[in-house]
Amino acid sequence: MPRINVLMYHQVGKFKNITTHKATYCDVGRFRSQLSLMKMYGFKSISLDDLYLYLSGKKELPEKSVVLTFDDGYENFYEYAFPALQEYGYSAIVYLVVGKIGDKADWLEKDGHFPAKLMNAHQIRELKKYGIEFGSHGYDHLRLTQQEYYVAKNDIEKSKKVLEDLLGEEVKHFCYPYGDHNIEIMKITQEAGYLTGVTCERSSITLDIDPLAIPRKAVSFGDSIIGFVWKLFFKNKPKRKLLSLDE
């Protein structure tokens, strides 16, 4: 069975004095080391489409496969992460907060963090030309399970339509803001036309995972290269039962 990891990143760049929410920051030097290490171990970069087909029993994957995901759509992805990905030959998917494109991540202010700038439409279209994929991270970055049904439904559906208009192509992949999801939210996501939904649950990928509740391993600011290897090869079991629409 292939060893498949879906890795979760947020911001990549040069940061100082990061003491909280470390899982949402990654130093660009360490990021480059992580890409180099995966290259050395023979990990192949795959897309969410590839992973969906694998989970559906319709495609085989390389023995060592990795999906690189980036939440929120920060401008520092364009500045720091993308050049590194190009250098090492890896692809990625960026989940955009559709209603905040070209604005700032104002939700970070609530936790005392700088509201980092988000990519604009021009930068997004440019990256698309180079093979970077984009998915929806909702329209307003809401904790979806805490919303009324129709608020959550509108946020999920509206983000898809607006992003498809911007990209000129179908948007098939969704990322639950804050990893916040339940069976109802998964059903809304499926009914909206998404093929996959990624969470913040930690696990490697096995064939029994629901495509609408794909777990990811968060790469943290404090991860040494040894810590990264440990996550890549050994942190494979979820802390709790993963959700599935089949149950």
Angle between helix 149-167 and 121-129 (nearest 10): 60
Which pLDDT score is estimated for 152?
98
Identify the pLDDT of residue 89.
97
Asked if pLDDT for residue 203 goes beyond 90, the answer is yes
1 has a pLDDT exceeding 80: no
Residue 113 has pLDDT above 90, yes or no: no
Query: Does 111 score more than 80 pLDDT?
Result: no
Give the C-alpha distances (Å, rounded to integers) separating 87 from 33, 73, 187, 220: 12, 20, 39, 22
Average pLDDT, the chain: 95
Asked whether residue 192 carries a pLDDT value surpassing 90, the answer given is yes
Which pLDDT value is given to residue 2?
A: 79
Q: What would the pLDDT profile of 11-66 be if each residue is shown by its tens digit?
A: 999 998 788 888 899 999 999 999 999 999 999 999 999 999 999 999 999 999 99
| Integer CA distances (angstroms), 112 to 12, 19, 72, 134, in order | 19, 11, 17, 28
- In this predicted structure, which of 48-52, 75-79, 108-112, 130-134 has the lowest mean pLDDT? 108-112
Give the single-character DSSP code of 118: B
Position 32 scores a pLDDT of 98
What pLDDT does residue 96 have? 98
Cα–Cα distance measured from residue 88 to residue 81, given in angstroms and rounded to the nearest whole number: 11
